């Protein structure tokens, strides 16, 4: 009788060792994490890094070019641009992360329900997603932002309404194919109630994919926050925000181009970091 | 006739216009193995799923002892009938460790206290001859034969009285088929299980069954004791099946 198999005795690298090795073999994930870590560190340490307060005005020194005193110069109210840039990272990243929580959970759950049960649950959820998809994203965002009032609250409400759709669609498709797997049938043979099958068995199998979508969607959301700020229906001044900074710099774009370019670069930087992480995670889980 | 451990009574299942099971009746005698043969598409797997409660029958009923099994089974009824699937690559959740797979079955049916789960998991693995270092590993780290043993361990973990094995060896390498069959036979007598064993392989059926039932196009066409079926089948279809198999009793009985 074949008892313990020989390969069982090979020493297994510790979990940490293996994950480190994996991350090293995935440059996109590695770089994405490094870029994002730098960004988060700068945002968190903003008061330490910058000697200036972001809304401290100095009318005697407006629209200064970059210098050793003001690394990125000053804006039209004499505020230090670098201070505003890193404090804006705090605002925008915080809102981005918070605004994703509810849509992510709701979308993943509804997607699993639709895919697992099929039939009317699926029909209902698919109808809802298709209806929302038919509208241009920014149209909904702008309408809801106007109705619910500008500012942070408006962004949260808007995203709760439309943000779950992207997760629901991805997770629904995945769940519908996983539902036919025998391990689901095995769980049903045990007698597990459907909700337990969804949460214990389906969830860990759809989560990796959902997290990959989360990364790309955060980049999309960040751009949406910045766009609303730029249009003047997002975060209200004087709270620093990359979108408002871009629009405030616009009148001076031909002479003081860095006023708009610096926050623009920050958005691109954050977007690249998130996309790299998303791609890296997708590779990581595809290899497994 | 003795009381059946499980009685399938006039069960019909159709998928749209296709009739998968056509008024199927079968009795499983307690502590015996009923071997169900038939070509693919004959309805064998559908029958297994009806008995396991995965597919509700359109007509007819399934009786566990004297109890009729309704559309929604109780936890106890689920516990008493367990199923070993054909494909061990797909029957274990890829993101659960072996400890979690076995532990979930044990805890859900309150077979042991939480504090004793680890010990019971080790016992179960020993019983199916898997090293206990397997506990914290994932299904993909095992071979097909090992995975099937783990699936068998999960099925017996809840102490069922009826075990359905739906082509449990057909996805396995020939070299490990015999040992899995031997394991099932051994568990059946040690745990006094009643077994419904489904296969299209007559050699396998010969090795494990007490009684043989033949299905064709959704119907049971013959039910005979094993010795009779393999010596002189009652139906011409049974004879046809037998004569189509050149390698018949290669696997020794018990």
Beta strands in chain B (DSSP E): 6-15, 18-28, 33-37, 59-64, 67-69, 81-84, 162-166, 194-198, 211-216, 219-225
Contacts B81 to A, Cβ<8 Å: 189
Contacts A4 to B, Cβ<8 Å: 130-131, 133
Which of A191, A201, A204 is opposite residue B73, by nearest beta carbon?
A191
> Contact B78/A186, CB-based, under 8 Å?
no
Instruction: Give the best residue of A189, A197, A205, A206 to mutate against chain B (max B CB count within 10 A).
Output: A189
Q: How sure is the predictor about B156, in pLDDT bands with cuts at 50, 70 and 90?
A: very high
Rounded Cα gap, residues A116 and A108, in angstroms:
12
**Fold annotation for A43-54+67-287:** MetI-like fold (1.10.3720)
With 0-12 / 13-18 / 19 or more C-beta atoms within 10 angstroms meaning exposed / middle / buried, residue A52 is middle
* A174 neighbors A208 (Cβ within 8 angstroms): no
Rounded Cα gap, residues A203 and A113, in angstroms:
11
Which of B52, B130, B133 is opposite residue A189, by nearest beta carbon?
B52
Which residue in chain A has the smallest CA separation from B77? Answer: A191
Q: Supply the pLDDT for residue A207.
A: 94
Domain boundaries, chain A: 43-54+67-287
pLDDT digits (tens, 9 = 90+) for A11-70: 556 777 877 787 788 889 999 999 999 999 999 998 888 888 888 888 888 888 888 888
> Contact A187/B151, CB-based, under 8 Å?
no
Rounded Cα gap, residues B221 and B216, in angstroms:
7
Distance from CA of B51 to the nearest CA of A (A): 10
Distance from CA of A124 to the nearest CA of B (A): 23
Residues comprising chain A, all counted: 288
pTM: 0.86
Q: What average pLDDT does the segment A268-278 reach?
A: 95
What are the tokens at A189? 């043979």
Q: Supply the pLDDT for residue A7.
A: 47
Q: Supply the pLDDT for residue B30.
A: 93
Q: Which residue has the tokens 């004087």?
A: A238
How many DSSP H helices and E strands does chain B contain? 9, 10
Query: Is pLDDT of A216 > 60?
Result: yes
Distance from CA of B46 to the nearest CA of A (A): 13
The CATH number of domain B6-250, selected from 3.30.565.10, 2.40.50.100, 3.40.50.300, 1.10.3720.10:
3.40.50.300
Q: B230 and chain A: CB distance < 8 Å anywhere?
A: no
CA angle in degrees (0–180, nearest 5) for A40-A86-A263: 110
Instruction: Give the best residue of A8, A10, A14, A186 to mutate against chain B (max B CB count within 10 A).
Output: A186
Distance from CA of A142 to the nearest CA of B (A): 41
Query: Is pLDDT of B248 > 70?
Result: no
Domain boundaries, chain B: 6-250
Which residue in chain A has the smallest CA separation from B164? Answer: A189
> Contact A189/B154, CB-based, under 8 Å?
no
Contacts A188 to B, Cβ<8 Å: 53-54
């Amino acid at each position: 009788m074949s008892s313990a198999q020989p390969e069982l005795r090979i020493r297994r690298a510790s979990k940490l060792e293996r994950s480190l090795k994996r991350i090293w073999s995935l440059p996109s994930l590695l770089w994405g994490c490094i870029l994002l870590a730098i960004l988060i560190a700068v945002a968190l340490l903003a008061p330490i890094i910058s000697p200036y307060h972001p809304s401290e005005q100095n009318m005697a020194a407006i629209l200064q070019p970059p210098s050793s005193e003001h690394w990125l110069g000053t804006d039209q109210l004499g505020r230090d641009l670098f201070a505003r840039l890193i404090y804006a990272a705090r605002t925008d990243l915080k809102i981005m992360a918070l605004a994703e929580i509810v849509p992510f959970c709701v979308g993943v759950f509804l997607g699993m329900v639709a895919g697992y049960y099929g039939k009317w649950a699926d029909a209902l959820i698919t109808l809802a997603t298709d209806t929302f998809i038919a509208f241009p994203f920014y149209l909904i965002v702008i309408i809801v932002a106007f109705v619910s009032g500008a500012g942070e609250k408006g962004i949260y409400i808007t995203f709760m309404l439309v943000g779950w759709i992207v997760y629901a669609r991805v997770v629904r498709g995945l769940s519908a194919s996983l539902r036919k797997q025998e391990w689901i049938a095995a769980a049903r043979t045990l007698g597990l109630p459907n909700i337990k099958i969804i949460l214990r068995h389906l969830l860990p199998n759809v989560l990796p994919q959902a997290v990959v979508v989360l990364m790309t969607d955060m980049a999309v959301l960040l751009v949406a926050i910045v766009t609303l700020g730029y249009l003047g229906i997002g975060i209200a001044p004087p709270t620093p925000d990359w979108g408002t900074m871009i629009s405030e710099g616009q009148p001076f774009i031909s002479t003081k181009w860095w006023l708009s370019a610096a926050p623009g670069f920050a958005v691109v930087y954050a977007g690249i970091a998130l996309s790299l992480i998303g791609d890296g995670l997708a590779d990581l889980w595809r290899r497994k | 006739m003795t009381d059946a451990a499980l009685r399938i009574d006039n069960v019909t299942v159709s998928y749209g216009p296709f009739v998968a099971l056509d008024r199927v009746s079968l009795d499983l005698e307690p502590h015996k193995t009923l071997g169900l043969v038939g070509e693919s598409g004959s309805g064998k797997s559908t029958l297994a799923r009806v008995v396991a409660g995965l597919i509700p029958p359109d007509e007819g009923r399934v009786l566990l002892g004297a109890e009729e099994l309704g559309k929604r089974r109780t936890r106890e009824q689920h516990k008493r009938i367990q199923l070993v699937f054909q494909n061990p690559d797909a029957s274990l959740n890829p993101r659960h460790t072996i400890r979690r797979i076995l532990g979930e079955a044990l805890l859900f049916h309150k077979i042991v206290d939480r504090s004793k789960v680890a010990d019971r998991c080790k016992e179960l693995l020993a019983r199916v001859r898997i090293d206990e270092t397997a506990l914290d590993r994932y299904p993909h780290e095992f071979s097909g034969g090992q995975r099937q043993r783990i699936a068998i361990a999960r099925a017996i973990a809840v102490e069922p009285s009826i075990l359905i094995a739906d082509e449990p060896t057909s996805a396995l390498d020939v070299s490990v088929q015999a040992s899995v069959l031997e394991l099932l036979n051994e568990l059946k007598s040690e745990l006094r299980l009643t077994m419904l064993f489904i296969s299209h392989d007559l050699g396998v059926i010969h090795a494990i069954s007490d009684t043989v039932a033949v299905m064709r196009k959704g119907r049971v066409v013959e039910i005979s004791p094993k010795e009779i079926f393999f010596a002189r089948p009652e139906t011409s279809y049974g004879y046809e099946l037998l004569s189509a198999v050149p390698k018949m009793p290669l696997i020794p009985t018990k």
